[in-house]
Chains A and B, each alone.
Chain A
Amino acid sequence: MRIIQNFFDSQRKHFVKGGKWEKYYPIFEATETFFFFPDHVTRTGPHIRDSLDLKRFMSLVILALMPPLFFGIYNAGCQSNLVSGMSPDFFPAFTRGLSIVMPLIIVSYTVGFFWEFLFAVVRKHSISEGFLVTGLLFPLTLPPTLPLWQAAVGISFGVVIGKEIFGGTGRNFLNPALTGRAFIFFAYPGKMSGDTVWTVMASVKAGAADAFSGATPLAVAAVTDAYGSTEAALTKAGFTFSTLFWGRHPGSIGETSAFLCLIGAILLMLLGIASCRIIIGGVLGVLSAGFLLNLAATENSLPFLSLNPAYHLVMGGFAFGITYMATDPVSAPGMNTAKWVYGFLIGSLTVFIRVLNPAYPEGVMLSILFMNVFAPLLDHIEIKAKLRKRIANV
Chain B
Amino acid sequence: MIAIKVKKGYDFKNIAGQPALEAEKPGKPACVAALPEKIPFIKPRLRVEVGDSVKIGSVLFEDRRNPAVRFMSPGGGEIAQINFGPRRIIKEIVIRLAENEAQAEFDALSEKALEQIERDKLVAMLLDGGMWPLIKAFPFRDIADPAAVPPAIFVSLGAKEAFQPAPEVYLNGKKNLFGYGIKILQKLTQNVYAGAAADNPNVLKELRENITHVFKGAYPADDPGVLLYHIKQSSSENRSWYIAGQDVLLLAQFLMTGAYPVERTVAVGGTSAPKKKHFITRIGVPLAHLAPGVNGDVRFTAGGILRGYAASKDGYLGLYETSVTLLPESGEKELFGFARPGFEKPSYSRAFLSFFNTSALPANCNLHGDGRACINCGACAEVCPVDILPQFAFKCVLADEVEESLQHGLLDCVECGLCSYVCPSKVEVCTILKKAKAAYYKETGVK
B306 touches A45 (CB 8 A): yes
A129 touches B372 (CB 8 A): yes
Which residues on A sit within 8 Å (CB–CB) of B275? none
Looking at the assembled complex, report how far the CB atom of A331 sits from the nearest CB atom of chain B, in whole angstroms.
9
Expressed in whole angstroms, the Cα–Cα distance for A114 and B182 within the complex equals 66
Expressed in whole angstroms, the Cα–Cα distance for A59 and B342 within the complex equals 13
B173-181, B281-289, B314-322, B330-338 - the one binding chain A: B330-338
Tell me whether A273 is interfacial, beta carbon within 8 Å: yes
- List residues 124-179 of chain B with CB under 8 A from any CB of chain A: 139
Looking at the assembled complex, report how far the CB atom of B311 sits from the nearest CB atom of chain A, in whole angstroms.
11
Which residues on A sit within 8 Å (CB–CB) of B381? 334
Most chain B CB atoms below 10 A, which of A48, A171, A335, A390: A48
Expressed in whole angstroms, the Cα–Cα distance for A42 and B412 within the complex equals 25
B417 touches A37 (CB 8 A): no
Tell me whether B375 is interfacial, beta carbon within 8 Å: yes
Most chain B CB atoms below 10 A, which of A171, A386, A394: A394
Q: Which residue of A lies closest to B347 (CB)?
A: A51
8 Å CB contact of B350 from A45, A170, A271:
A271
B369 touches A330 (CB 8 A): no
B310 touches A47 (CB 8 A): yes
B72-80, B92-100, B231-239, B250-258 - the one binding chain A: B231-239
Tell me whether B392 is interfacial, beta carbon within 8 Å: yes
8 Å CB contact of A44 from B234, B235, B428:
B428
Tell me whether A270 is interfacial, beta carbon within 8 Å: yes
8 Å CB contact of B373 from A168, A272, A394:
A168
8 Å CB contact of B421 from A38, A50, A53, A57:
A50
Tell me whether A81 is interfacial, beta carbon within 8 Å: no
A-B contacts, 27 listed (Cβ < 8 Å): A5-B335, A38-B333, A40-B370, A41-B299, A44-B431, A45-B308, A46-B306, A47-B310, A47-B327, A49-B369, A49-B423, A51-B352, A52-B347, A52-B351, A52-B368, A52-B369, A52-B422, A52-B424, A54-B370, A55-B369, A170-B376, A271-B350, A379-B392, A386-B387, A386-B389, A390-B387, A391-B238
Chain A, residues 380-394, CB within 8 Å of chain B (1/0): the string is 000100110011111
Chain A, residues 60-73, CB within 8 Å of chain B (1/0): the string is 10000000000000
Looking at the assembled complex, report how far the CB atom of A308 sits from the nearest CB atom of chain B, in whole angstroms.
35
Expressed in whole angstroms, the Cα–Cα distance for A270 and B392 within the complex equals 26
8 Å CB contact of B338 from A5, A55, A130:
A55
8 Å CB contact of B425 from A54, A393, A394:
A54
B235 touches A392 (CB 8 A): yes
Expressed in whole angstroms, the Cα–Cα distance for A171 and B310 within the complex equals 33
Looking at the assembled complex, report how far the CB atom of B438 sits from the nearest CB atom of chain A, in whole angstroms.
13
Which residues on B sit within 8 Å (CB–CB) of A129? 372
B372 touches A54 (CB 8 A): yes
- List residues 110-164 of chain A with CB under 8 A from any CB of chain B: 126, 128-130
Looking at the assembled complex, report how far the CB atom of B23 sits from the nearest CB atom of chain A, in whole angstroms.
24
B367 touches A273 (CB 8 A): no
Tell me whether B246 is interfacial, beta carbon within 8 Å: no
Chain B, residues 361-383, CB within 8 Å of chain A (1/0): the string is 00111111111111111100100
Tell me whether B268 is interfacial, beta carbon within 8 Å: no
Which residues on A sit within 8 Å (CB–CB) of B325? 47
Looking at the assembled complex, report how far the CB atom of A312 sits from the nearest CB atom of chain B, in whole angstroms.
28
A37 touches B334 (CB 8 A): yes
Which residues on A sit within 8 Å (CB–CB) of B332? 39
Looking at the assembled complex, report how far the CB atom of B360 sits from the nearest CB atom of chain A, in whole angstroms.
13
Question: With A53-B425, A56-B352 given, can you name 13 additional A-B contacts, CB distance below 8 Å?
Answer: A37-B337, A40-B370, A45-B301, A47-B308, A47-B365, A48-B15, A48-B306, A48-B327, A49-B367, A53-B338, A169-B375, A170-B374, A391-B238
Which secondary structure dominates chain B's binding surface? loop
B420 touches A53 (CB 8 A): no
Which residues on B sit within 8 Å (CB–CB) of A329? 375-378
B389 touches A47 (CB 8 A): no
Looking at the assembled complex, report how far the CB atom of B321 sits from the nearest CB atom of chain A, in whole angstroms.
12
8 Å CB contact of B368 from A37, A171, A270, A387:
A37
Tell me whether A1 is interfacial, beta carbon within 8 Å: yes
Chain B residues in the interface with A (C-beta under 8 A):
15, 139, 232-235, 238, 299, 301, 305-310, 325, 327, 329-339, 342, 345-352, 354, 363-378, 381, 387, 389, 391-392, 406-412, 417-418, 420-426, 428, 430-431
A393 touches B349 (CB 8 A): no
Q: Which residue of A lies closest to B422 (CB)?
A: A50
B365 touches A41 (CB 8 A): yes
Q: Given the interface contacts A47-B299, A47-B310, does A391 sit within 8 Å of B426 by beta carbon?
A: no
A334 touches B391 (CB 8 A): yes
Which residues on B sit within 8 Å (CB–CB) of A271? 349-351
Q: Given the interface contacts A38-B333, A39-B333, A47-B301, does A170 sit within 8 Å of B367 by beta carbon?
A: no
B333 touches A5 (CB 8 A): yes
Expressed in whole angstroms, the Cα–Cα distance for A130 and B370 within the complex equals 13
Expressed in whole angstroms, the Cα–Cα distance for A137 and B333 within the complex equals 30
Expressed in whole angstroms, the Cα–Cα distance for A37 and B333 within the complex equals 5
Q: Given the interface contacts A45-B308, A48-B305, does A393 sit within 8 Å of B411 by beta carbon?
A: yes
B426 touches A49 (CB 8 A): yes
A46 touches B305 (CB 8 A): yes
Which residues on B sit within 8 Å (CB–CB) of A29? 370
B235 touches A45 (CB 8 A): no
Q: Which residue of A lies closest to B409 (CB)?
A: A390
Which residues on B sit within 8 Å (CB–CB) of A48? 15, 305-306, 327, 363-365, 421
Expressed in whole angstroms, the Cα–Cα distance for A35 and B334 within the complex equals 8
Q: Given the interface contacts A39-B332, A51-B368, does A56 sit within 8 Å of B351 by beta carbon?
A: yes
Expressed in whole angstroms, the Cα–Cα distance for A163 and B338 within the complex equals 24
Which residues on B sit within 8 Å (CB–CB) of A60? 351
Which residues on A sit within 8 Å (CB–CB) of B334? 36-37
8 Å CB contact of A393 from B233, B363, B409:
B409
Which residues on A sit within 8 Å (CB–CB) of B422? 50, 52
Which residues on A sit within 8 Å (CB–CB) of B234? 391
Which residues on B sit within 8 Å (CB–CB) of A170? 372-376, 425
Q: Which residue of A lies closest to B15 (CB)?
A: A48
Which residues on A sit within 8 Å (CB–CB) of B299? 41, 47
Expressed in whole angstroms, the Cα–Cα distance for A332 and B392 within the complex equals 14
A334 touches B338 (CB 8 A): no
Which residues on B sit within 8 Å (CB–CB) of A128? 372-373
A45 touches B417 (CB 8 A): yes
Expressed in whole angstroms, the Cα–Cα distance for A334 and B376 within the complex equals 6
Which residues on A sit within 8 Å (CB–CB) of B418? 46
Which residues on B sit within 8 Å (CB–CB) of A56? 338, 351-352, 369, 424
Which residues on A sit within 8 Å (CB–CB) of B349? 50, 52, 271-272
B232 touches A391 (CB 8 A): yes
Which residues on A sit within 8 Å (CB–CB) of B338? 37, 53, 55-56, 59
8 Å CB contact of A39 from B331, B339, B387, B431:
B331
- Nearest 9 pairs of A and B residues by beta carbon: A53-B369, A170-B373, A37-B337, A46-B417, A51-B345, A36-B333, A55-B338, A37-B334, A39-B331
